[in-house]
Amino acid sequence: MTWKNWAGNQKANPIKVHRPQCESDIVAVVGYATALRQRVKVVGSGHSFTAIAVAPDHLVEMTRYNKVIGLDADRLEVTVESGIVISDLNEFLADAGFAMPNLGDVTYQTISGALSTSTHGTGSLRTGLAAQITAFRLVVASGDVLQCSADENPEVFHCGRVGLGALGILSSITLRIVPAFRLHAIEEPMRVDTLLTNLDKHVSENDFFEFYWIPHTGWALTKRNNVTDKPADPPARFRTWVNKMLLENIAFGALCYVGRLMPFLIPRLSKALPSSGRTEYVNASHRIFASKRLVRFYEMEYSIRRDAVVEALNRVRRMVDDCGFLLNFPVEVRFTAGDDIPLSTGSGRDNAYIAVHVFKGMKYEPYFREVEAIMSDYEGRPHWGKIHFKTAESLEPLYPEWKRYIEVRNRLDPEGVFTNDYLRRVLGR
Ligand SMILES: Cc1cc2nc3c(=O)[nH]c(=O)nc-3n(C[C@H](O)[C@H](O)[C@H](O)COP(=O)(O)OP(=O)(O)OC[C@H]3O[C@@H](n4cnc5c(N)ncnc54)[C@H](O)[C@@H]3O)c2cc1C
């Protein structure tokens, strides 16, 4: 079997594929592989652009270990099997009157894949997803199953909330949830210079603020989402289809194809993007946070100190002009609050995120390397699931609790049962 990730830039040819249905199946896979001195890698939905999920020997797919185990309405917690896809979890929670406090911009990922790479959304007072974990069970290289929380195996819990898949296999996961809420969404283009002048105000005055600067134009598309008591008022189905499917996927995809064939047209094609106008509606939070993404691309995303975002983005804008890159994908900018997780991109500081994209099949490396060089001037930490060129040596100084994580990994997986080439590069073995 050849496995490929969503973007098609990573492949694996594992010796064997395993599809566990219960925790003891996971323990058996780990025991089988370690007896043969082979390596094991779980793959979620394959939505990482890096080789983080590439399985050198045994590939474990959690498609049969993907159910909700229980919901505790009093404690505001849900416990799930680690292979559950986030969109399924959202539907379950919505039916029960609950929601995740924040989400990324798609929900195709498994919860364990998203947590393992420090997946995040936006919201200056909201953390990434991993900070919602209150407990998990971890199958480690010895075959033991560790119950981890702030009280049990607290050191493994502390480090394993963003584990990069390197500490063991997450079995069940308990997450903090909130009562279901609705968002009032306003999406509209703004001049990017005006937006950047008032950026602090936008970020602090909106619960969830993000924007996309469109290269080769002076425009940005903004999204302002605020918690509201107003009743749901989603656009009619046809209008939703026109906005979310036709404009954001089909028409945008067509522009990308034309741009790939005739790159010199890209600056002119880009002018079509900001003309989408203003939309305003109210809907359940999970329906607003996430969208469908049918156009495939490669992505790099850096988290940097929040106070550096205007300077960093302006440098990216100048660099694109100076280098003459022709880019048909917007640059996305988001914000989150800091957390206390050693390898989280939000570890110990409030963050801004700058994400750059290139249409599938087009050359990304020269552009991404230039962006990475800029982000490195602002203590930039790469998203673990998105393309970057850093190694353990350059990553270690960026994370105050790096050594703490490495000590836990050395203890739990001394032989590297869960490692692969990507982890060797970013963790040093
Ligand atoms: C279209 C698109 C949109 C995206 N949007 C966002 C976004 O808004 N915000 C953001 O932060 N990121 C975003 N991402 C990145 C994505 O969230 C991460 O790459 C995420 O890790 C993908 O989850 P997955 O289920 O596909 O995991 P995979 O990519 O398959 O795996 C990721 C890692 O998780 C490990 N893993 C999976 N399951 C387990 C388990 N049970 N135990 C231990 N380790 C495990 C894997 O071994 C691997 O190391 C996006 C990616 C795409 C393609």
* Domain boundaries along the sequence of the chain: 182-382
Residue 423 Cβ contacting ligand 1 at under 6 Å? no
User: What atom in ligand 1 is closest to the CA of residue 418?
Assistant: 47
CA 213: distance to chain centroid?
A: 19
pLDDT class of 275 with cuts at 50, 70, 90: low
Rounded Cα distance between 198 and 185, Å, is: 19
Residue 164 Cβ contacting ligand 1 at under 6 Å? yes
**Could you tell me which of 309, 311, 316 has the C-alpha nearest to residue 330?**
316
182-382 architecture in CATH?
Answer: 3-Layer(aba) Sandwich (3.40)
Encode pLDDT of 280-290 as tens digits: 999 999 999 99
User: What atom in ligand 1 is closest to the CA of residue 6?
Assistant: 53
* Residue 257 or residue 429, greater confidence: 429
The H or E element containing residue 172 is strand 169-176
Distance between Cα 128 and ligand 1 center (Å) = 13
pLDDT at 42 over 70: yes
Residue 59: its pLDDT value, please?
98
The H or E element containing residue 270 is helix 266-270
**Span 78-86, average pLDDT:** 98
Residue 321: its pLDDT value, please?
96
Farthest CA pair distance, the chain = 61
**Could you tell me which of 17, 177, 18 has the C-alpha nearest to residue 97?**
177
207 contacts 182 by C-beta, under 8 angstroms: no
Residue 45 Cβ contacting ligand 1 at under 6 Å? yes
pLDDT at 119 over 90: yes
Rounded Cα distance between 192 and 200, Å, is: 14
Distance between Cα 269 and ligand 1 center (Å) = 31
- Cα dihedral sign, 422-358-380-292: negative
**Span 32-47, average pLDDT:** 97
The H or E element containing residue 200 is helix 199-205
pLDDT class of 46 with cuts at 50, 70, 90: very high
CA 387: distance to chain centroid?
A: 12
Residue 272: its pLDDT value, please?
75
Encode pLDDT of 373-421 as tens digits: 999 999 999 999 999 999 999 999 999 999 999 999 999 999 999 999 9
Measured by CA distance, the residue closest to atom 52 of ligand 1 is 47
Encode pLDDT of 314-355 as tens digits: 999 999 999 999 998 999 999 999 999 999 999 999 999 999
Encode pLDDT of 352-375 as tens digits: 999 999 999 999 999 999 999 999
Residue 246: its pLDDT value, please?
63
Q: What percentage of the chain carries pLDDT values higher than 90?
A: 88
Rounded Cα distance between 359 and 295, Å, is: 8
Residue 104 Cβ contacting ligand 1 at under 6 Å? yes
Distance between Cα 45 and ligand 1 center (Å) = 7
pLDDT at 276 over 70: no
Encode pLDDT of 190-247 as tens digits: 999 999 999 999 999 999 999 999 999 999 999 999 999 999 988 777 777 667 766 7
**Could you tell me which of 176, 40, 65, 72 has the C-alpha nearest to residue 115?**
176
3-class state of residue 69 by DSSP: strand
Distance between Cα 182 and ligand 1 center (Å) = 26
Considering the chain, what is the average pLDDT of its residues?
A: 95
Measured by CA distance, the residue closest to atom 1 of ligand 1 is 293
Residue 165 Cβ contacting ligand 1 at under 6 Å? yes
Residue 20 Cβ contacting ligand 1 at under 6 Å? no
Residue 385: its pLDDT value, please?
98
Residue 6 Cβ contacting ligand 1 at under 6 Å? yes
Best probe residue, ligand 1, of 116, 156, 172, 424 (max atoms within 8 Å of C-beta): 116
